[in-house]
Structure 1
Amino acid sequence: MFIDCLQRELAVCHHAEIEPFLAADPGRWQVISIREPHHPEAVLTHARKAHAVVFEDVFTPEGTHGHGPKPAHLQGILRFVAQSGREPLLVQCWAGRSRSTAVALVVIVKTLWGQGIDGPEMVRRAADTLLAIRPLAIPNRLVLRLGLEEFLHHPLGQTLSKALVEEPRIRQNFVD
């Protein structure tokens, strides 16, 4: 889906969707692939370029086996996004609801922030954009906070991440 405020296409999918999604338009998508250590790698043969990271869908850096998200994961993701320019970007994780939507939300917020948008308008527009891409998004709070803290000073990243997951339409997905 082309996102006007991003001036690029952005999509989110889950593990079973990625191979047919990429095969439908080979060589077009820059892909961020997130998986847990015990899950198989996604088939990315039709990606233009890919950045793979491995961490659990947990809310602490330690995770259940020491594999939770860490700042270095988000630093690498944001470098990849910056290097991809305005090319189509696809973010994938196992379920396509938590880690991938958090990363997509970080990309959205970073772009809106760069356009001078903040406060309640930022939260509304970021939620609108994310839910247009992935209506059942339940962004991983830690991934979101770590990503936002890469470009927003403390405590703004933490405050904004909380406001985003508490946005009523996103919050509703956590209880459904």
Structure 2
Amino acid sequence: MQLIVCGLADVEPLIAVRRPSHMITLLDPASLIETPAPLSPERHLRLGVNDIVEPMDDMVAPDETVVGRILAFGRTWDGERPMLIHCWAGISRSTAAAFLLACEHSPAADERRIALALRKAAPHASPNRRIVALADEQMGRGGRMIAAVEAMGDYDFTVAAPFDFPARHA
């Protein structure tokens, strides 16, 4: 079970080379993309949400529905082929979604180990704290997901690039 995390500019080339079976798009509502070929629309979750951590005028904050849709969509994926997750830059919304899906697919794993594996795979990862906090609550993780992301420390934006991340952790 492999997750591929990237920014919008890398979506088309990665689809052509990696052939993911599922894709999650997390972009502001005005920037949402159509489902790229050869994916079918039912295997493409399109979420119009801004990269913010608290409500702001004229912006769509991540909410419980967004997190619930990510988790539900993740349960439809059999893991045979990769799932591609992207946002605008591949830094915040997409890394948060990858982290919560890895936690969902690894119920017995330590959240901190998953977060540190995310940091190792992507020095640029800075998971959206609101998405993580909402997922932590929905998944009944008692604050462990939030603490795990905080333990990742600072990120290095200068090296943002697509990366692979396992969806299952021991």
The root-mean-square deviation of aligned C-alpha atoms, in Å, is 2.2
Note the C-alpha offset of 1:117.
3.0
Structure 1 104/25 Cα, relative in aligned 2: closer, same or farther at 3 Å?
closer
Give the counterpart of 1:165 among 121, 128, 149.
149
Alignment partner, residue 147 of structure 1: 135
Give CA-to-partner distance per residue, 1:50-85, whole Å, 9 cap, x none: 11101110012x333241111011111111100112
Answer whether contact 1:101 1:139 (CA < 8 A) is retained: yes
Aligned mates of 2:72, 2:156 — CA distance in 1: 29
**Counterpart mapping for 1:11-90 below 5 A:** 11-26=4-19, 28-41=20-33, 44-47=36-39, 49-60=43-54, 62-87=55-80, 88-90=82-84
Note the C-alpha offset of 1:44.
2.2
Note the C-alpha offset of 1:133.
3.7
How many percent identity over aligned positions? Answer: 26
Aligned residues: 155
Note the C-alpha offset of 1:165.
2.5
Answer whether contact 1:102 1:144 (CA < 8 A) is retained: yes
Give CA-to-partner distance per residue, 1:33-58, whole Å, 9 cap, x none: 11102325266223362111011100
Give the counterpart of 1:91 among 69, 85, 88.
85
User: What code does the residue aligned with 1:82 have?
Assistant: R
Moved over 4 A (4+): none
Aligned mates of 1:134, 1:162 — CA distance in 2: 18
TM-score normalised over the length of structure 2: 0.80
Higher RCO (C-alpha under 8 Å, 6+ residues apart): 2
Matched residue SS, 2:12: helix
Alignment partner, residue 130 of structure 1: 118
